[in-house]
Structure 1
Amino acid sequence: MTVRRLIARFTEQEDLNFLLTNRVPRAALTRFMGWFSKIENPLVRDLSLLCWRLFSDLDLSEAKKTEFKSLHECFTRELRPGLRPVDPDPRVVASPSDGIIGAFGKIADTELFQIKGAPYSLLDLLGDPALVESHRNGHFLTLRLTSSMYHRFHAPYDMSIEKVTFIHGDVWNVNPIALKRVERLFCKNERAVLQARLPTGERLTLVPVAAILVASIRLHFLDRTLNAQSRGPLEFACDAAVRKGDELGWFEHGSTIIVLAPEHFEFADRVAEGVRIRAGEPLLRKP
């Protein structure tokens, strides 16, 4: 097969993936999945898990429970204790979740990128000019969670969460194919902006971004789930003191977390695009 034909076939596969996961009634499909996944019927559960296994690398060997009442309970499963130890080094900012490292690097003034050649602005992402100033010329890193991964996320460091802002939006797929084709995708999707302050006064911001089938983000310290049905207030002032490794919440399928850190932080040695990382492993280092 010639190189030209290989490229054409690859492009056709990308076109089909994009069509099936984006050129559909995304919001309606996401609402349906939210309802369907919570059905507590053994037949529905078993058939759903069978289909999920056929199309992903779902591995439940680490799960705390081996039986689930519903698909939703499997999505949001806990792991057996001790499987995600947190790096104890006080200089290390740990990964908040399992994930695949996507775009990362230095923020150019207030511009970052979802993939190379696809920039977006901090203001479009965060919607808060004061918070943008806190991260001007800082660092960013994107973690993509696939559907089969552990979906809970944790505090990357000892910190105080001061404010959460929920921003309504779309539910585009966040896979690499969509990131290449949809400009400013992260700024269009539903997302929560978690503003935190470290004991040293430095700001660290986490932005969990929802996606198709995933537009629900559970935050324990607010004791609520944020989704398209959430109605005001959409800004939550809080003073939630959390320790490194504490569970913050979960996605209800799989999605993306964007981490924003100060300029003087450095990326950990293993950080590279495409690397799989686990919650608790080194992500950034404080000087």
Structure 2
Amino acid sequence: MQNTPIQVVDRDSGTVFDEVILGEKWIRWAYQDSSSNLMERLLFRSSLISRLFGLWYDSPLSRGKIRSVINELSIDMAEAVRPAEDYKSFNDFFARHLKPEARPFDPDPTQIVSPADGRVLVFPELDKDVFVPVKGHPMSINAMVPGLSHQFLGGALAIVRLCPADYHRYHFPASGQIETSEDIAGALHSVNPIALGAGPDVFGENKRCNTLIKTNNIGSYCFSEVGAFGVGAIINTKTAGTVSKMDEKGYFKFGGSTVVVVFEPGKVAFSPDLVANSARGRETLVKVGQPLASAVI
């Protein structure tokens, strides 16, 4: 098995660190060990295990896990609206709200912001239908956003990968009008780069929700929430109407998850640091509201 560490750039400090992966041994076994095909199908192509996780983490019995996870993952509870002891279940804690001042953003309508806390990889210009994540397998825009892909071929795409330590509510990166929203059933593969390098088209096979938002200055963009192993649910709290930048769109329950935002060709230019790090095959750790891209005027 390959055990090359996953390196991430911390945007705030500029330092590069090796990501600590919860359950790394099992992810590598499921996706990199040729003897694990049956288990991979059992765990990741069926939603049973994730549903069981969801039931447990919705239960008051799961409250005891909150403090240990805060300590293990060094979660800053000073940012949260409610203290740790105030949550009724682990999922209640996992989908915690943050204080508004914890995630400031630029209100300039030409500035597009990160939709979530997470590790960002950007593709400034897609090779028509195909994009390839870090150490990954080719993914398809046609498979990821069926029925919408024609306007995004050759466009730009950002992947924001969330880990268990992250704030798990996601927000609109730019203002606009929701045109369509579609839930798509699918598998629950891990979204970790280990899994992305093993072959499944995670963004085309996993459970997801695709939302098309029309804007005044960057055309339309597609916002896709991608479910992953252990995710009890994708909960969208805003599914229609007019939206403002940084309005909450929804949240994930427990598990690693991913948000993908796809832009039309020639409409946005990603932040230079994200482009440079992505070109080196490194994700960048960012916070929701931080700069993602600028409108091409």
Structure 2 equivalent of residue 283 of structure 1: 292
Structure 2 equivalent of residue 243 of structure 1: 244
Paired with 2:236 and 2:257, the residues of 1 have a C-alpha distance of 15
**Which of these residues, 263, 266, 269, is aligned with residue 265 of structure 2?**
263
SS of the equivalent of 2:48 reads helix
Structure 2 equivalent of residue 228 of structure 1: none
The answer to whether residue 174 in structure 2 is matched with residue 157 in structure 1 is: yes
**Which of these residues, 104, 122, 127, is aligned with residue 85 of structure 1?**
104
Compare 74-83 and 85-94 and name the one that shifted more: 85-94
**Superimposed CA distance per residue, residues 38-77 of structure 1 (whole angstroms, 9 cap, x where no aligned partner):** 1124xx412x224534653433231110021110111100
Cα 1:208–1:184, aligned 2, differ >3 Å: closer, same or farther?
A: same
Cα 1:201–1:266, aligned 2, differ >3 Å: closer, same or farther?
A: closer
Paired with 1:122 and 1:81, the residues of 2 have a C-alpha distance of 34
Question: Gapped runs of 5+ residues in structure 1?
Answer: 1-6, 223-237
Compare 176-185 and 241-250 and name the one that shifted more: 176-185
Compare 262-271 and 274-283 and name the one that shifted more: 262-271
CA contact (8 A) 1:98 1:151 kept: yes
Paired with 1:280 and 1:94, the residues of 2 have a C-alpha distance of 5
CA contact (8 A) 1:103 1:141 kept: yes
Compare 82-91 and 72-81 and name the one that shifted more: 82-91
Paired with 1:248 and 1:10, the residues of 2 have a C-alpha distance of 35
The answer to whether residue 113 in structure 2 is matched with residue 112 in structure 1 is: no
Paired with 1:37 and 1:215, the residues of 2 have a C-alpha distance of 8
**TM-score (structure 2 length as normaliser):** 0.80
**Superimposed CA distance per residue, residues 221-280 of structure 1 (whole angstroms, 9 cap, x where no aligned partner):** 24xxxxxxxxxxxxxxx4x10111111111113310111112221111331332111111
SS of the equivalent of 1:280 reads coil
Give identity over the alignment, percent: 26
Q: Kindly report structure 1 stretches of 4+ aligned residues shifted beyond 3 Å.
A: 7-11, 13-17, 20-24, 53-59
Question: Gapped runs of 5+ residues in structure 2?
Answer: 6-22, 32-38
Amino acid at match of 1:246: D
**TM-score (structure 1 length as normaliser):** 0.82
Paired with 1:8 and 1:262, the residues of 2 have a C-alpha distance of 36
Structure 2 equivalent of residue 31 of structure 1: 51
**Superimposed CA distance per residue, residues 127-155 of structure 1 (whole angstroms, 9 cap, x where no aligned partner):** 11xx2121111101111000110000111
Paired with 2:194 and 2:186, the residues of 1 have a C-alpha distance of 20
SS of the equivalent of 2:132 reads strand
Cα 1:54–1:88, aligned 2, differ >3 Å: closer, same or farther?
A: closer
Cα 1:14–1:25, aligned 2, differ >3 Å: closer, same or farther?
A: closer
Please list, as runs of the form range in 1=range in 2, the aligned pairs for 1:89-108 lying within 5 A after superposition: 89-102=108-121, 104-108=123-127
**Superimposed CA distance per residue, residues 166-205 of structure 1 (whole angstroms, 9 cap, x where no aligned partner):** 1100111111111111331221110010111002470111
The number of aligned residues is: 259
CA contact (8 A) 1:86 1:244 kept: no
Structure 1 equivalent of residue 207 of structure 2: 190
Amino acid at match of 1:75: F
Cα 1:78–1:10, aligned 2, differ >3 Å: closer, same or farther?
A: same
* Aligned-pair Cα RMSD in Å: 2.4
**Superimposed CA distance per residue, residues 85-117 of structure 1 (whole angstroms, 9 cap, x where no aligned partner):** 121222111111111113533111121223355
